[in-house]
Chain A
Amino acid sequence: MARRTKIHVGLEIGTSKTCLVVGEVKADSAVKILGIGETKTAGVRKGEIYDYSQARTCLKDALAKAEDASDVEIGSVYLAITGSHIQGVNHRGTYRLPDGEPVVAPEHVEEARNIARDVHIPPDHVYLHPIVRNYWLDGLEHSISPVGLFGKTVEADFHVVHGIGARIQNSIKLVREMPLEVDDIVFSPIATAQMALDREQRERGALVIDIGGGTTDYALYLGGVITASGCIPVGGDHITNDIHLVTGLPFSKAERLKVTEGDASAEPGRSVGTAKLTDDRGFAEIEVNRSVLNEVIRQRLEETLRLVRDRLPVGSVESIGAGIFLTGGTSLMRGFSELAFEVFDRDIYRPELPEISGIQASFKDPRYATAIGLIRYAQILESERATPPGCLGKIARMFWPFGR
């Protein structure tokens, strides 16, 4: 199907940075990144906005930069959201075909889906995604909709992500005030996984852990479908904070120390002597015992990874075949892969970002994984939208090639 190129924009308001990625999806569904707009974020803590005016300023700045870099006027974005209130649950809906209708009709599947979506969520929560995992027909698994097949019972297996409605609405409101339209909201780890995992890895089983500034998001894929997702409100900021609390250094120095000297592996060889920060004249400004520094970092990260592991369904870590993919800024920590291996005992990867052209350097950076993943998500969503543009749509596209 010949299609025009489309431009998608992914927006992530992270705890440490606000990042807009402008991507062009070509007709052959290759993705080209046109530009990235990034600023440091203020007013966001643990993935949730607590100071709206500051966050708004940051978003404005990032938007201007992104428009500058990509030379595109941005009208609508895909928004990644996170926060410890968001959680994913699996639910299955069963629908028994009425007598005298041996063939599964679309409305039967729809009914099963509705039942599956009907998860008991707390009253203040709203659904983010009902993601279909797979269908079952009379106990047999079907990865696509079993419409037209003979059978008695249709089951739909859903992964339902839900979170507190008010907080999500506030994030959307912030973006709307730019003014920007929000095409869709996506739970961060799901967006990240679009980017970090290919089909084969999902098939074999993979876990994406996105350790950002304020939160650790994870998504587990087993047998090609999402099995668990969630968010733990701990991130790189906590490490800085820990260093600050333990050593008494100011935040800025603690942050620099973490980035330049920290090591998360338990290797004793890397914890010898003192870590020094030099000021601009080359004098040693502060000295911290490396064993203390590394221990603070390691314990924090180890605890975080263990929390992730404990939240996964029982026995699922063992069935991860492809490995564990670490993204997010904190995954750049030295020795982190060793630590993750120690905790999960699975292969550890930093995801490579294939098949994307553009400003290469940015894509290698795990810090942009989520925002780029959003483009991918948009692309998939676009192709999934069942109805191909009709006659009217085609005419409209001739005049406005970039619209939806």
Chain B
Amino acid sequence: MIPYNRDPQQVIPNSAVKIIGLGGAGANMLERIALDGLEGTALLALNTDVRTLSSSLAKEKIQLGINLTKGLGTGGDPELGHQAILEAEEAVRAAIQGCRIVFLCVGLGGGTGSGAAPIVTRIAREEGAFVVIFATMPFVFEGKRRREQAETALNELAVLSNALVTFDNNRMGELVLAKQGIHKAFLAADHMICESIKAVIRLVIRPGLINVGLDDLMSALRTNRSRCLFGSGISKGKDRAINALRNALSSPLLDQGALLRDARTVLVHLCGGEDLTLFEIELLMQHLQKFVPETAHVLFGAAVDPAMGDSLSITLISALPEDSLTMAPRETLSHLPAESPELESRQSSTVPVAKKKAVAQSPLPEPTEEDPLFAGADKPAAPSLLSEYRRSLAGSTAEAPTLFDQDSPFTEPELPSIPKSTAEDYLAGAEPELESLPLNTEIPETPEPTPFSPVVAEFVAVNREDSSEVYLEEEPSPEPIEKDENFYNPGPEPTGFTPIPRRRPAGTTPWTPAKPRPETTGSSAQLSAPEIPKLKLDTKFSTPQSELAFETTPRGRFEGADPSVIDGEDLDLPPFLRKKK
């Protein structure tokens, strides 16, 4: 057996992750994290107050402002906090050195937190770390002054950090019932922050079946001055997919999913035990569609972790530009052209953007579907066209396309089983589309096919001959087709490209050489990871899956009644059947 080593490029060793708790609130969060047992990550406590520092559970501790405050706190003065961290800058720098990711937990509004956080962030960035900040905002009743201090610090942090997750203490009430004790409320807040850190770490450290790595995380969070939207849910038992999603959406940061409506990029990561089924993923993603705008870029990842047992966790990460929280409530398709430059600046030169831009500028009113994965939702024409295509081109039986769609993203053996001729046909058939795109939209940065192998050029030539009208009539569906071909990459293989491993190394570099298509401009690792789930989603909508019907097990006379679910068990189903599993 040939050992296949997953590309370790995106896998970050535990040792390169550091969690910093800054100030009193940060110390509390750190404590929570330490108690929840986040395996293997280093914890670093920074504080001016030597009393809280000494009681901290963190392994590393650095006292700030030894000479300045002499072991006392800053008394709520950010200026003192600022000077205190400058005093200890060298020590902090030494502690952060070599870290790839730094999580900074801080409660804004106080002296140490507000004053020192921007400096810590700067130091970490200077050391080349990816900085994710978890900041809590003070309660309203703490007064305007503290609020202002917090806002000032937040503004600085938003610029300095790679990602900023703010948690407003005023919304703490949503986490717990009103009658529960105050310590519960704070516990819940700390717990949520801890959960988010854990989820991000899980995401980055563990290689997934469909990998999302640091790069995806960055692209999900990369809007300047952004507020991070974060939701994480875990559930087990029946309907765990839906329940996990519901839990994730109930995160106060997501506002029941309402805030996701404005998101441009959403990172979805699933982690389940060994019994995680494709069907569950599909179900979950389908439900998620309702909350995510059609135009959003969904970065999908899945991982199987035996330690999860029979539970399933979902993590949603997205970022909202800060201004959109206050203004411009809903994004509509008509706004898109105006927004596309911004999109580009955000993810320059990645293929999705190039495409987005292309489509946005396209004169055709109807196919301005940015993202094919959502095409099925309101535009059934394209998918059906796609399936027609498949039927005619692949020359396979009627159900063959659906088989592909369902299985190929996960079962490796499926790929080699595609007949070569089919794949070639496929490519050939798809070619007019590829070509049509640059022609129509005239993007300057889109290179002509020339840099690529003669084979492709030939294809293009052939297809140019055969038809202006073909591509005209197929214009509405450029994306799905193109996507498709993109996915069935083994296609080009026989035509003389660099051989690629059959195994689909989700989101890793070996994929790169196999993508010689006109629009591919670069940054391939970024491309392939998001592409695959896109296809999956797209196809899911294009062909209504017969399997989906199986989910709704018959309920007899309780059909249609609102289900009574207690502890994740649907009481309307016979225990006799439920418990047998």
Contact = CB atoms under 8 A, between A and B. Distances in A.
Interface of A: 45-46, 50, 84, 119-120, 232-234, 237-238, 240-242, 244-246, 251, 295-296, 299-300, 302-303, 307
B571 to A, nearest CB: 5
Contact of B555 (A232, A241, A246, A299): A241
A187 to B, nearest CB: 18
A241 B566 contact: no
B576 A234 contact: no
For the complex, would chain A's binding face be called helix, strand, loop or mixed by DSSP majority?
helix
Contacts of A300: 574-576
B351 to A, nearest CB: 48
Interface of B: 177-179, 554-558, 561, 564, 566, 571-577, 579
A307 B566 contact: yes
Nearest to B563: A233
B127 to A, nearest CB: 48
A302 B577 CA distance: 14
Given A242-B574, A244-B557, A245-B577, 13 more contacts: A45-B557, A45-B561, A46-B564, A50-B561, A119-B179, A120-B178, A120-B179, A232-B566, A232-B571, A238-B574, A241-B557, A300-B575, A307-B566
A272 B230 CA distance: 56
Nearest to A293: B576
For the complex, would chain B's binding face be called helix, strand, loop or mixed by DSSP majority?
loop
Nearest to A296: B576
A45 B556 CA distance: 13
Q: Nearest 9 CB-CB pairs, A to B?
A: A242-B574, A299-B575, A241-B556, A233-B564, A296-B576, A303-B575, A120-B178, A120-B179, A244-B556
Contacts of A251: 556-557
A300 to B, nearest CB: 5
Nearest to B569: A303
Contact of A242 (B178, B179, B564, B576): B576
Contacts of A302: 575
A241 B558 contact: yes
A47 to B, nearest CB: 11
Contacts of A45: 557-558, 561
Contacts of B576: 242, 246, 295-296, 299-300
Contacts of B572: 238, 241
30 contacts: A46-B558, A46-B564, A50-B561, A120-B178, A232-B566, A232-B571, A233-B564, A233-B571, A234-B564, A237-B557, A237-B558, A238-B558, A238-B571, A238-B572, A240-B557, A241-B555, A244-B556, A244-B557, A245-B573, A245-B577, A246-B576, A246-B577, A296-B574, A299-B574, A299-B576, A299-B579, A300-B574, A300-B575, A300-B576, A302-B575
Contacts of B561: 45-46, 50
Contacts of B557: 45, 237, 240-241, 244, 251
Nearest to B554: A245
A113 to B, nearest CB: 18
Contacts, number: 62
A241 B571 CA distance: 11
A251 B573 CA distance: 15
Contacts of A50: 561
Contacts of A46: 558, 561, 564
Nearest to B559: A241
A295 B572 CA distance: 16
Contacts of A233: 564, 571
Nearest to A89: B179
Contact of B571 (A119, A234, A299): A234
A246 B566 CA distance: 21
A45 B558 CA distance: 8
A299 B578 CA distance: 10
Contacts of B177: 120
B564 to A, nearest CB: 4
B25 to A, nearest CB: 27
Contacts of A295: 576
Contacts of A238: 558, 571-572, 574
B574 A246 contact: yes
Contacts of A232: 564, 566, 571
B575 to A, nearest CB: 4
Contacts of A84: 564
A46 B566 CA distance: 14
Contacts of A246: 574, 576-577
A241 to B, nearest CB: 4
B558 to A, nearest CB: 6
Contacts of B556: 241, 244-245, 251
B356 to A, nearest CB: 43
Nearest to B178: A120
A354 to B, nearest CB: 35
Nearest to A300: B575
B566 A242 contact: no
A237 B556 CA distance: 10
Contacts of A242: 574-576
A233 B558 CA distance: 11
Nearest to B180: A120
A300 B558 CA distance: 15
B158 to A, nearest CB: 35
B26 to A, nearest CB: 32
A229 B564 CA distance: 18
A245 B574 contact: yes
A251 B555 CA distance: 12
A52 to B, nearest CB: 15
Nearest to A292: B576
Contacts of B579: 299
Contacts of B575: 242, 299-300, 302-303
Nearest to B579: A299
A249 B554 CA distance: 14
A120 B176 CA distance: 13
B578 to A, nearest CB: 8
A50 B566 CA distance: 21
Contacts of A245: 554-556, 573-574, 577
Nearest to B179: A120
A302 B576 CA distance: 11
Contacts of B564: 46, 84, 232-234
A92 to B, nearest CB: 12
Highest count of chain B CB atoms <10 Å: which of A241, A246, A296? A241
A124 to B, nearest CB: 15
Contacts of A299: 574-576, 579
Nearest to A215: B564
Nearest to A233: B564
B554 to A, nearest CB: 6
A363 B549 CA distance: 48
Nearest to B576: A296
A288 to B, nearest CB: 13
A42 B357 CA distance: 59
A45 B557 CA distance: 9
B484 to A, nearest CB: 41
A246 B556 CA distance: 10
Contacts of A241: 555-558, 572, 574
Contacts of A296: 574, 576
Highest count of chain A CB atoms <10 Å: which of B566, B573, B579? B566
A233 B561 CA distance: 11
B237 to A, nearest CB: 14
A46 B579 CA distance: 22
Contacts of B558: 45-46, 237-238, 241
A46 B561 CA distance: 9
Contacts of B574: 238, 241-242, 245-246, 296, 299-300
Nearest to A234: B571
B563 to A, nearest CB: 9
Contacts of B577: 245-246
B184 to A, nearest CB: 14
Nearest to A302: B575
Nearest to B573: A245
A302 B571 CA distance: 12
B417 to A, nearest CB: 39
